[in-house]
Chain A
Amino acid sequence: MVKSILTALLIVSFHISSYANPLKVGLVLDKGGKDDKSFNSAAYQGASKAEKDLKIDLKYVEATDTNAIENLHRSFARKNFDLIIGIGFAQKDAVKKVAAQFPQVKFAIVDGEVTAPNVRSLLFEEHEGSFLVGALAAMNSKSNSVGFVGGMDIPLIRRFAMGYAAGAKYVNPKINVSENYVGVTGEAWNNPAKAKELALAQYSKGADVIFVAAGASNTGVFDAAEEKKKFAIGVDSNQNWIKPGVILTSMMKAVDVAVYDTIKEAQAGKFTGGIVHFGLKNEGVNYTVDKYNEKLITPDMKKKVEEIKKKIIAGQIQVPDYYKKK
């Protein structure tokens, strides 16, 4: 009896506290989870910043199995969330299906293209940012050989690899670029041990800088770099802090900014559907310099890479895009 009264009180108090009607935002993260220090972390940071600054009501979930993604989006929509954000290409089909059934709910998806009036697709020009870190890798390399370790072997990650190799070859046409992938399934984002093995193999074959785009598997490559006293390049978030002195730079994808801005616009009633591109032009992708790596990037390197950046933005350098290669 006491328990049920308590419950009733609890439910009532919950309703009162939520009476102010803040914007309800649901965030569906990919398999790496919010602590991958990379892609999903960036999205989570953007959303939690919005929670603090904009006083929205944020709930996040992580997709544990493939079939759960659609159910998660649908449960958010059924619980009258105002904005639902899917993180990662794997959620494209789920967002497409659920968005069609709930036209009054706003959706956003990162790394997937869905055309519907209530869906905003947040797409990043990964090849442009990768070109820059490829150039930096080549400038830093003394062995004339650099490497790439991708997470799951899919076109999205090959886009990183292609831009990276092109950037390295732009600086040094004779450089050798090796390329490996952790796996072919979603587990690849979460397998640091395998990523470390691949990195060790590439280092022992002579590479001295490795760019890694593998979500939570990244830490394996950083460990290998520290062990062999070589360099690694992080991805998605600014990962320089994880191993200062070892991580040359990070190819940052401003997923946090994209998520934050989408929430902000939804709250202001300015949400629009359609595709938004994030490239070098609007700082959606970039290389990072901060106190953890400023000693690694010499002024000369910085000058050169800024020049390249300007040329890409001006269209003087055409960065090859894996999506357009058929």
Chain B
Amino acid sequence: MRRLLGFVIGLVVALLLTLFAGENPWHIFLILTKSAFGSMYDLGLTLSYTTPLIFCGLSVAIAFHAGLFNIGAEGQLTMAVVTAAAVGVLFPEVPFPLAPLVGFSAALLVGAFWGWIAGWLRAYRGSHEVIITIMLNFIAAGLASWFTLKVIPNPHSQNPETALVSANYMFKDYDLIARLFPDTPANASLGFAIVFALLMWIFLWKTTWGFELRAVGSNPEAAHRAGISEKKMQMLAMALAGALAGCVALSEVLGSAGQYRMGFSPDYGFIGIAVALLANNNPLGIIAAAFLMGALHKGASDLDLETSTITRDFSRIIQALIILGVAAQGYWEWMKKKKRRKN
């Protein structure tokens, strides 16, 4: 809540910038809101962007709590989404209630493994997780395109995408959220995302492991002296981060598209960093922050159609200014505290 001020300042500054393009900022704001929430269809699209952003925000946040910076959410989610599609294409006979579960578990495992690699290298080899996760993003993209195009390509299309998973893997008919928002990719995984955020909050603040993880993050030396294994916690945090990013398979493959399409993600993994920052790594705050970012992403998509000078890329400017606003506010509060301490 405290961060709302920084958010508003960032948004206002960004909107004022549109004056330079000869637009009315208030008009732009109206377009953004109308396009994000104007109808059930618009809201559905906003929510369909919100869901993967919650997962990625949680992924980045849990690593932050252990003192690690996970830039690899994009690669982790790519691996998981391809895995879910692969399981769905290669094992079409698995019966319904079991099938989505199998697909989802496989995606979680692979996502977790992809995160764990960076955690293990950090814990035992001392390699910096930022560099490792960035490089793993490229490896994931390469592996995914090889697997998609050489092993399970879609025979009916020239697009770079996998074949469709068997219908057993989709939860279409049982999906109440999808029924609310016809014609949009919004689906039940939004519910899963919220539940996972709650679970993560419980894990971090109500369990021993969660405490140990946060202890390693806030003061590794003290944690070490208290007998907490730093290595174990770093690997755990990165594996959990990978699994959370891997949940995107739920919303993308099992919930909506039923396949992996290369280039489906508008950089969810990287916007996830902004989401986590905005929410100060609080799992419940991430739900709200992801919703705001999702709304911004959807809202900006109509700028192309409604104005002649401003395009959808404007959402990136707003995003950047919002993050600057939030960071500036955090800095200002920190300065105030420091001053008070001096007195």
Contacts from A to B (Cβ < 8 Å) = 3-4, 6-7, 10, 26, 59-61, 64-68, 71-72, 74-76, 78-79, 89-90, 92-93, 101, 152, 154-156, 184-187
Contact = CB atoms under 8 A, between A and B. Distances in A.
12 contacts: A10-B27, A26-B305, A59-B305, A60-B304, A66-B263, A67-B264, A74-B41, A74-B183, A75-B302, A93-B159, A184-B145, A186-B263
A185 B262 contact: yes
B208 interface: no
B262 A66 contact: yes
Interface in B287-340: 301-302, 304-305, 312
A186 B160 contact: yes
A65 B264 contact: yes
Interface of B: 24, 26-27, 30, 41, 45, 145, 149, 157-161, 183, 185, 257, 261-266, 301-302, 304-305, 312
Contacts of B157: 92-93
B261 A10 contact: no
Nearest to B156: A93
A186 B159 CA distance: 9
A7 B24 contact: yes
A79 B145 CA distance: 36
A79 B264 CA distance: 24
B24 A10 contact: yes
B160 A185 contact: yes
B305 A61 contact: yes
Contacts of A65: 263-266
Nearest to B49: A67
B42 to A, nearest CB: 9
Given A6-B26, A59-B305, A76-B305, A67 B262 contact: no
A156 B158 contact: yes
A6 B24 contact: yes
A310 B183 CA distance: 49
A129 B217 CA distance: 63
Contacts of A75: 301-302, 305
Given A64-B312, A90-B159, A101-B183, 19 more contacts: A3-B24, A3-B26, A6-B24, A7-B24, A10-B24, A26-B305, A61-B305, A65-B263, A65-B266, A66-B161, A67-B261, A75-B305, A78-B41, A155-B158, A156-B158, A184-B145, A185-B145, A185-B262, A186-B263
Query: Which of B257, B264, B305 counts the most chain A CB atoms within 10 A?
Result: B305
A105 to B, nearest CB: 14
Nearest to B302: A75
Contact of A7 (B27, B41, B45): B27
A66 B159 contact: yes
A186 B261 CA distance: 11
Given A185-B145, A185-B262, A71 B158 contact: no
Contacts of A61: 304-305, 312
8 closest pairs, A vs B, by CB?
A61-B304, A66-B263, A65-B266, A154-B158, A66-B261, A67-B264, A3-B26, A66-B264
Contacts of B305: 26, 59, 61, 75-76, 79
B114 to A, nearest CB: 20
A67 B185 contact: yes
Contacts of A67: 185, 257, 261, 264, 266
Query: Which of A4, A67, A152, A156 counts the most chain B CB atoms within 10 A?
Result: A67
Contact of A4 (B26, B45, B301, B304): B26
A101 B312 CA distance: 25
Contacts of B159: 66, 89-90, 93
A208 to B, nearest CB: 31
Query: Which of B30, B159, B264 counts the most chain A CB atoms within 10 A?
Result: B159
B269 to A, nearest CB: 13
